[in-house]
Structure 1
Amino acid sequence: MGSVMCEEITVGYEDEGSGAPLVLVHGHPFDRSMWRPQTEHFSRAGWRVIAPDLRGYGESTTVPGKTPLETFARDLLALLDRLGIEHFVLGGLSMGGQIVMECYRLFPERIRGLVLADTFAAAETDEGRAARHAMAERLIREGMTGYAQEVLAKMVSWHTLTHRPDAAAHVLAMMKATAPEGAAAALRGRAERPDYRELLTRVSVPALVVVGAEDTYTPVSDARDLHARIPDATLAVIEQTAHLPNLEQPDAFNAVLVEFLNSLPQSAAE
């Protein structure tokens, strides 16, 4: 783990293992520790796992105002350039998945494979835009705690709350620790994101779409839509999980990801 100055901000990140690079982008309002089960597993399985904190989250600099997805994508590229990583498999969950799509729009030639978890490609509706701006104002006004307690039972499944209280506690702690200004800036930026649906039809690298069977934020129907658009994509639905299958059922999630990574052409693993 470490931190480095990239352009005008400091970025906290994990860099574990050696081998072909696997880059994992966290969702909102979390931090890079949401990928701990994957960082630990894949760094021991022949991959170099890079998991950064996005600006405004974890140990990275909080920049108030508005953070468009393009800014997150360019931060990521600056970090990878700094680490000397030319080509990589890129995965993201929820907002992280939308950042992955933005990365594919901006620098597809760097990406060897895509992992899109619990995310969706359509642009925001007018209603959705208004809701994101209203939530941004609320978080600035009230802080993260009330929101975090409110949404926990949507972020993770009933099964996780009951049988994996450690995972539920980790999710709650990440949300409460997030800087309200960083979360608000991301919400404002995401309200204006482009529509990635047409881009997905032009994806020319292998792609894995993963979703929790009980996700209500980005339901299985959203995952099926991504899967239908991306040529030759693979779809996996993880049972007994909601919006964070990688943390709720890490063994099942890792098994799906192992199978996908092992199926990549050899050039992807160079």
Structure 2
Amino acid sequence: MAPFLAYEDKGPEEPPASLAPTAPATPSVPLTPLVLIHGHPFDRTMWAPQLDAFSAARRVVAPDLRGYGASPVVPGVTPLARFAQDIEDLLDELKVETFVLAGLSMGGQIAMECCRRFPDRIRGLVLADTFPAPETAEGRAARNAMADRLLREGMGGYADEALERMVAPYADAAVKAHVHRMMTATPAEGAAAALRGRAERPDYRGLLTRLPVPALVVVGADDTFTPVADAEAMHAALPDSALHVIEGAAHLPNLERPQAFNEALGRFLTRVDGIS
């Protein structure tokens, strides 16, 4: 059966020679795969700097969520549980049994849902510029109103308005162009379905307190969608976590400051590889 989602699947099946054990009798062990879940309203190209940086040494899988990028659009309502099931199905198809799971913004909430649904497969969790609380009544109304607007007007106006909150006003022009391009290329029906589903998301705060694996919490210092205080609260709730605040970035530090983001992620992956 062909996977439902479009995706990138990069990296060696065996560890690079420089990382392989020197003793011939010792079997080489591949590094822990990394699975990357993009945010709204983006696509898998959001993770281009991380795909380039980490696929030389490990397998990296980055899907387009349903309704985004090259994946099929299913109008209506897409709950976070549906996104998580799609990811599980894709990883089953690709035979990725265990992995480090990283998600940004809505992708972080989907990653938390994955922790609820199939925790035994997750060796480490990266939560970037996200938060675990359920939606308020006001927030549900706002998300549904935005869904109505996107279906009525398309993505262009929203992309213009939100761009300099997604990335900082001082961000590199090429980064701004990439983010704007992802936003305007997203089908309005897919974005609206995700907004309606996200409005009904569960409360993940209790789940985080019981997470049995290490976690990394990352946030842009100038993020106004999910501010540093949200990241600090997740860090405090998680039993085993590191917090990394990236200066000079807003909601997409992996694109705005890829070197700093990759350094923090690389340290975390090295730790997970050592305990897997």
Q: Which interval holds the TM-score relative to the shorter structure?
A: over 0.9
Root-mean-square deviation (Å): 0.9
TM-superposition CA deviations, 1:32-91 (whole Å, max 9, x none): 0000000000001x1100000000000000000000000000000000000011100000
TM-superposition CA deviations, 1:175-226 (whole Å, max 9, x none): 0000000000000000000000000000010100000000000000000011
Aligned equivalent of 1:76:
87
The residue identity in structure 2 corresponding to 1:11 is L
Matched residues in 2 for 1:31 and 1:58: separation?
A: 5
Matched residues in 2 for 1:85 and 1:91: separation?
A: 15
From 253, 256, 259, the equivalent of 2:267 is: 259
Matched residues in 1 for 2:170 and 2:249: separation?
A: 7
Are residue 197 (structure 1) and residue 205 (structure 2) matched?
yes
Are residue 58 (structure 1) and residue 55 (structure 2) matched?
no
The residue identity in structure 2 corresponding to 1:142 is E
From 13, 23, 27, the equivalent of 2:35 is: 23
Aligned equivalent of 1:243:
251
Matched residues in 1 for 2:131 and 2:85: separation?
A: 20
Identity value in percent: 64
Aligned equivalent of 1:210:
218
Are residue 11 (structure 1) and residue 5 (structure 2) matched?
yes
Matched residues in 1 for 2:270 and 2:123: separation?
A: 13
SS of the residue 1:23 aligns to: strand
The residue identity in structure 1 corresponding to 2:194 is A
Which residues of structure 1 form unaligned runs of 5+? none
Higher strand share: 1
**Shift in Å, 1:267:** 4.7
TM-superposition CA deviations, 1:100-132 (whole Å, max 9, x none): 000000000000000000000000000000000
The residue identity in structure 2 corresponding to 1:17 is G
Are residue 222 (structure 1) and residue 230 (structure 2) matched?
yes
Aligned equivalent of 1:126:
137
Matched residues in 2 for 1:266 and 1:129: separation?
A: 42
Matched residues in 1 for 2:121 and 2:255: separation?
A: 27
Instruction: Please give the TM-score of this superposition, normalised by the length of structure 1.
Output: 0.94
Are residue 137 (structure 1) and residue 148 (structure 2) matched?
yes
The residue identity in structure 1 corresponding to 2:2 is M
SS of the residue 1:60 aligns to: coil
SS of the residue 1:105 aligns to: helix
Matched residues in 2 for 1:200 and 1:253: separation?
A: 22
1:91-170 to 2 correspondences below 5 Å: 91-160=102-171, 164-170=172-178
TM-superposition CA deviations, 1:206-254 (whole Å, max 9, x none): 1000000000000000000110000120000000100000000000100
**Shift in Å, 1:265:** 4.8
The residue identity in structure 2 corresponding to 1:208 is L
SS of the residue 2:101 aligns to: strand
The residue identity in structure 2 corresponding to 1:15 is D
Matched residues in 1 for 2:272 and 2:188: separation?
A: 39
Are residue 32 (structure 1) and residue 44 (structure 2) matched?
yes
Aligned equivalent of 2:98:
87
Aligned equivalent of 1:185:
193
- Equivalent residues, number: 258
